[in-house]
Structure 1
Amino acid sequence: MRVRSRSAVGGVALAATVALALAGCAGSSGGSGEAAQSGPRTVTVWLMNGSAPTTLTDALHKEFEAAHPEVTVKYEIQQWNGIQDKLTTALSGNDAPDVIEIGNTQAPKFAAAEVLTDLTADAGALSGDQWLASLKASGSWDGKQYAIPFYAANREVLYRKDMFEQAGITAAPTSRQEWLDAIAKLRATFGSDPDFQALYLPGQNWYSLLSFIYDEGGDIAKQDGTKFTASLDSPQAKAGLEFYKQLTEASGTKAPKDADEQTPEQAGIYGGGKVAMFVGLPWEVATAAKSDPTLTAKTSAFPIPSKDAGKTAPVFQGGSNLAIPAKSANQDLAKDYLKLMASAKYQADFAKAGMIPGTSSDTSALDADPVNAAMAKASKNGRSVPATPGWAAIEAGQNPLKDMLTAYLTGAKDIDAATSDANAALNKAFAG
């Protein structure tokens, strides 16, 4: 989950021919299943670049091999660019890896194709009682669990403490109204500078939009079994969209209405010293600090506030899951590997690295840093996008949520037309 989310970097959706290839190996174990084997064996693990810290994997592999004589861990770091196609090929072949990391929005595609091992019966041994709800949902399909949570992160409001102090803001906002009030004070204090922005909010930051929609009681889609129907035309979803517009107008943001937080990179804009707030991820502070190292000490954070005072808004939670390919030849070892990775010992290392652990409710290691602490507080109310195979195509292609935002914010469409068109596009993707 980088500047957007690890799950959003996965690449294009699987083509129809790929889906047929995957379906051809559905349900097959491809090897010896879970029966214990004797003699030397190798368990192949594919984790993504930049996910698990090296100190964690080094220690885990050493412990795993010590507990499994004659077993060697073949650890291969994969790149996000092109990983979906690479996984498609690997999962349909006879030399599949034994453990894989997959983005949480990729998981439903592979789960629906039945090329992942059903882990439903193993949930208890894999710390299932502490699974992060958003990632658990993304790893399930048709009532079965095909992937377990690995780690996650979510957005928060990053802000300049010094600017808040100069504007007379004595406490971080804990409601939408307090947020708007803070914006008004910041603009009153620094507004004489034509380059100042109280809040930098690009028009297509749909991750932020989701918080407002969720907070109003709405959602992207309604689920009925494995069927999803878009619901952006609900009164609740429209209310979330209306607040997004209110926020952009109140803040006086100069961010483009037809681009997302990466075009241009919002951390770089914040690093220019003329922005008081932006909605982002904790590690974007380090990116901004490349321009101005003093920003690290000047920056703090608060959870995206709810319309209800004292509450935090639900947040989109991006991240990764772990799964076992159905054709893994070492199912027994793969499950032991997941069990160790899901243990409190190693999940704590993710919290120390500034991530939300996927299989542990203990986020206390994040509390020492106010930026990480705000993310941890918000994580208790994390949500995922619809767990449908069609979502991979939505993110990789022309995202209807982005089009909806731009159309509404620019006045090209009224709210009814914008949400109706987005619904139609989403339903087409869901059906595909």
Structure 2
Amino acid sequence: MKRWLKLAAGIAATTLAAAGCAGSGGSDAGNQSSAPPKDGTITVWLMTGTAPDSMSAALHKDFEDAHPGVKVKYEIQQWKGIQEKLTAALASDSPPDVIEVGNTQTPFFAAQGVAADLSGSVADFNGAQWLAGLKASGEYDGKTYGVPFYAANREVIYRKDLFEQAGITTPPASRAEWLDAITKLKAKFGSDPDFQPLYLPGQYWYALLSFLWDDGGDVAKADGKKFKSTLDSAGSKAGIEFYKQLVEASGTKAPKDNDEATPQQATIYGAGKVAMFIGAPYEVATAAKTDPSLKEKSGAFPIPSKTAGQTAPVFLGGSNLMIPLNSKNQQLAKDYIKLMCSAKYQGELVKAGYVPGASTDTSGLDSDPLAAVMAKASKNGRAVPASPKWGEVESGQNPLKDMLTAYLTGKKTLDQATADANAALDKIIGG
């Protein structure tokens, strides 16, 4: 499960240079020759850690058997430097035929005119079962350019043994119950000065998104191809206020001027003095390197909604599949993606521990309690604004992080912090 977080919090955060991304723009993949060659090669670029070797080997055999004379040239790409490599490849006359990109990267390539419009093939790609949050990430200007590949999301990971000792018999199913659990944990273990009912860093904006969305707020709203920041809306402010309420109620010792990666929150959890944190299933394995017993002691529940019995929306980190506009094998590329979206290979993704992007069947994750909770929460998943410039938000001086730190430390009022964040965001994604 480590693979997805690297994408959502790292690779997708890097700005993609627009230089060299020339293209005719807006052309449909069907404008290319639809007749597959009798022999030839289709080049596929997937990222390291995505498809297990056994899955890709079976997939390529099935594809080649269905297309006599055609071979799959499968190239695993490394995340380091992939932005520059993709930028150059998609602008060339001989790009790969199928590529995997981060879901927040998709609008960039679509806007640059180097990606094929796949709107007419959505049904062929099992579009009726696409994960809703990823579906939105593959769209730009009313057209579909990215096909959901797979996803993962955050949940609340907790110590079952500490909950039991504090008299908490069932995982919280609302914000009120979550706060009540924090109170009970403090009453039981608060005499230990190092104990934290909830570890929550001040700049954990991925977690903040759940609260914004749950309160009816959002980061920004689309206005044609432009975006208008909405962090000062009533719903957004309510979500930010709840974030502060969690920080203050828990008495977390996490830094208010840094995020969940600095220091690594799984390491903090592994030290044994934290009862809960918002994270991904794989982080338990990281924590267990310090304390192996945490594998058995840890459970999970979806991030609670303010409405009892519902789950809060979650940010979906993941990947999309795209076809470069200049691919010479458009129909073969479509056939490849169609096979990847089939029940057989979506099922293989589930076996590998992913939430499939093109299938609603996640029953294969039920045997893993942490992954099962992640899959349940993913049904209420969402994506960040589909702005071609979103990478600049994450790779630069992220206005959401600055806003949280300023508000949590009291340097700015909520009104001032959100107004300043809006202004900063509008400079990046407003045009």
Letter matched to residue 278 of structure 2: V
Q: Deviations over 1:56-106 (max 9, x none)?
A: 111101111111111111111111222111110000011200000000000
1-structure distance, mates of 2:63, 2:325: 22
Residue 127 of structure 1 corresponds to 126
Q: Note closer, same or farther for the CA distance 1:31–1:387 as it changes in structure 2 (3 Å cut).
A: closer
Residue 322 of structure 1 corresponds to 321
1:16-415 aligned within 5 A: 16=18, 18=19, 21-26=20-25, 33-415=32-414
Q: Deviations over 1:347-389 (max 9, x none)?
A: 1122222211000001111122221111111111101100010
**Structure 1 residue 32, shift from structure 2 partner:** 9.5
- Calculate percent identity across the aligned residue pairs: 66
8 Å contact from structure 1 (residues 29, 329) kept in 2: no
2-structure distance, mates of 1:354, 1:252: 34
8 Å contact from structure 2 (residues 200, 252) kept in 1: yes
**Structure 1 residue 40, shift from structure 2 partner:** 2.7
**Structure 1 residue 395, shift from structure 2 partner:** 1.1
Q: Note closer, same or farther for the CA distance 1:3–1:319 as it changes in structure 2 (3 Å cut).
A: closer
Q: Deviations over 1:204-232 (max 9, x none)?
A: 11011010010001111111222210000
- The 3-state SS of whatever aligns with 1:219 is coil
Q: Note closer, same or farther for the CA distance 1:140–1:431 as it changes in structure 2 (3 Å cut).
A: same
Choose which of 11, 14, 22 in structure 2 pairs with 1:12.
14
- The 3-state SS of whatever aligns with 1:23 is coil
8 Å contact from structure 1 (residues 41, 70) kept in 2: yes
Which stretch has the larger CA shift, 36-45 or 401-410? 36-45
- The 3-state SS of whatever aligns with 1:425 is helix
- The 3-state SS of whatever aligns with 1:105 is coil
**Structure 1 residue 267, shift from structure 2 partner:** 0.5
8 Å contact from structure 2 (residues 228, 430) kept in 1: no
Residue 418 of structure 1 corresponds to 417
1-structure distance, mates of 2:122, 2:23: 27
TM-score (norm. length: structure 1): 0.96
8 Å contact from structure 1 (residues 120, 144) kept in 2: yes
Which structure 2 segments of 5+ residues have no match? none
Which stretch has the larger CA shift, 287-296 or 77-86? 77-86
1-structure distance, mates of 2:213, 2:415: 19
- The 3-state SS of whatever aligns with 1:22 is coil
8 Å contact from structure 1 (residues 116, 146) kept in 2: yes
TM-score (norm. length: structure 2): 0.96
Which structure 1 segments of 5+ residues have no match? none
2-structure distance, mates of 1:274, 1:14: 40
2-structure distance, mates of 1:140, 1:89: 22
8 Å contact from structure 2 (residues 46, 76) kept in 1: yes
8 Å contact from structure 2 (residues 27, 117) kept in 1: no
Which stretch has the larger CA shift, 159-168 or 52-61? 52-61
After superposing on structure 2, the runs of 4+ consecutive aligned residues of structure 1 that deviate more than 4 Å are: 27-32
**Structure 1 residue 334, shift from structure 2 partner:** 0.4
Letter matched to residue 7 of structure 2: R
Letter matched to residue 201 of structure 1: L
CA RMSD in angstroms, aligned pairs only: 1.7
8 Å contact from structure 2 (residues 23, 113) kept in 1: no
Letter matched to residue 15 of structure 2: A
